[in-house]
Amino acid sequence: MDMFQTVLGQVLLSPALLGLIFLGMAIGVIVGMLPGLNATMAIALLLPLTYTMDPIPSISLLVAIFVGGMTGGCISAILLRIPGTPNSVATVLDGHAMAQSGRAGKALGLAIIASVFGTIFSGIILIIFAPTLARLALDFHTPEYVAAFFFALTAVVAVSSDSLLKGLIAALIGGLVATVGISSIDGLPRFDFGTPQLLGGLPLVPALVGLFAVSQIMRDALAPARPSNKVQSGLGWRAMLPEGREVLAHAPNALRSASIGTAVGILPAIGGGPAGLIAYAQARNSSKTPERFGRGEPAGVVAAEAANNATVGGALITAMTLGIPGDTVTAMLIGALTIQGVQPGPLMFANSPEVVYAIYISVMVASVMMFVFMLGSTGLLVRLLDVPRPVLLPALFVIACVGIYSLNGRMFEIWVMLGFGLLGFLMEQFRYPLPPVILGFLLGPPFEANLRKMLGQYESIVPLFTRPISLILIIAALVFLTLSLRSSRRMRPT
């Protein structure tokens, strides 16, 4: 406790350290908002600057980038229907619909509050239960991961609009395109058609931007002119802050979604995108008006943002206590800790408690700063909705191209973005939902890899039903699937 108080005082009484945390948070928000950029890239660019820093300032800066990067994507997801990061896929479903109906400020306000709540909730879980939850994660082997990914894939029912068949077809398309490239199990090339660029698989970010952003640009360009919904000029933090009773009404949904996000964050390789989709599906299933989801339902925004931001604490639990990166961001953080001479794992709590406490405090302080920063600055971005369409659409397309090209400097990724844009445009023309494509694209490869490993190790699927954790997950998936199907029937017109 004395060490914790020392580190807390060092952070809160140091203007330089607080400035570093604010800088990291702001950088994270900005790169998360811009299509093609993400927190991983920001941390990679700033990592060399931390070599000469002490451990506490170094890790505080990088953790703040992580926190900000998880939230920034909601801005472009709501205003422009462009998920700034894969974590914001579920936010698009209702957030952009709210913006189109003139409720952009309300959608952004709820997203910011839910994001901060999710991050702080997972931070509290990180502080209290990190060692215990990490020991539970040690019991996860291939059967448990197969069951976990199967559970996550059942969310396809809830994001399939009005047709489960179309949703399944869309998810299969996503899973199919994810098989392009060299197999991670046997090293054999698949569906590369003799093209060297395809050996590494189809990149996620260009696919994501193409599917949601380019397809929307194509639809808007071909649609007849219509009066735009003018957003009130000078929309600021007062307009975005919802009433207290509305916040309380969303509290159970936010708490449930943050719990889901924290649990998903503990499991390596799943991430904020699927966490948001799972929480979104749960929110729809528990709603008395599930037919409103996908048409501008605030509860959908709250569920998505609370869940994807709560994966921050969950991912840090696994990274700190086991030394296992839950995603690319925590992999970078583990590298940063190693550079500073701190070895992540169980001994980190005994050998470097000051770094552990610095991570705890940085998550909390960055969350509070993020709340103030986003409420104060996001209102200016809402004016993007007032830009004339002949100006806005070409500008968005150029931004998307520049952002994607900046990833690796390859024209191939531009072509991938355009290809997925055409795919998304055609799917929406025939009323096929887009989120299941991303769900299949994200979860298909790890589900396949763990299933093949399990079959190679056990030569059957029996372990799924004989190991306690995997059995619980399979039962939970079946219950979830049943509730989702029942909810889908309620949504159909009689």
Token digits for 116?
Answer: 């901060």
| Average pLDDT for 189-208 | 82
What region does 194 belong to: left with phi over 0, alpha with psi -120 to 50, or beta? left
The CA distance from 416 to 412, in Å, is 6
pLDDT digits (tens, 9 = 90+) for 395-404: 778 877 887 8
455: containing domain: 2-491
Amino acid making up residue 124: I
- Tokens 């509305």: give the residue: 246
Contact 91, 111 (CB under 8 A): yes
Token digits for 201?
Answer: 């698989």
Residue 304, classified by CB atoms within 10 Å of its CB into exposed (0-12), middle (13-18) or buried (19+), is buried
Enclosing H/E stretch for 233: none
Query: Which of 142-156, 158-172, 260-274 ranks highest by mean pLDDT?
Result: 142-156
User: Which has the higher per-residue pLDDT, 109 or 492?
Assistant: 109
The CA distance from 452 to 455, in Å, is 5
Confidence of residue 234 (pLDDT cuts 50, 70, 90): very low
Burial 458-468, CB ≥16 within 10 A → b, else e: eeeeebbeebe
- How many folded domains does the chain comprise? 1
Least confident of 33-37, 248-252, 268-272, 389-393: 268-272
Enclosing H/E stretch for 181: strand 181-182
pLDDT digits (tens, 9 = 90+) for 105-163: 788 888 889 999 999 998 898 888 776 765 665 677 888 888 877 877 776 665 565 67
Rounded percentage of the chain residues whose pLDDT exceeds 70: 80
Least confident of 150-159, 258-267, 282-291, 356-365: 150-159
Q: Is the pLDDT of residue 95 over 60?
A: yes
Write the CA distances from 324 to 141, 311, 439, 441, integer angstroms.
14, 15, 23, 23
Specify the pLDDT at position 131.
Answer: 67
pLDDT digits (tens, 9 = 90+) for 12-63: 767 888 898 999 998 888 877 776 566 766 776 677 677 778 888 888 898 9
The CA distance from 208 to 273, in Å, is 11
Contact 303, 253 (CB under 8 A): yes
What phi and psi, each to the nearest 5 degrees, are found at residue 181?
Answer: 115, -170
Q: Is residue 202 helix, strand or coil?
A: coil
- pTM of the entire predicted model: 0.69
Specify the pLDDT at position 114.
Answer: 92
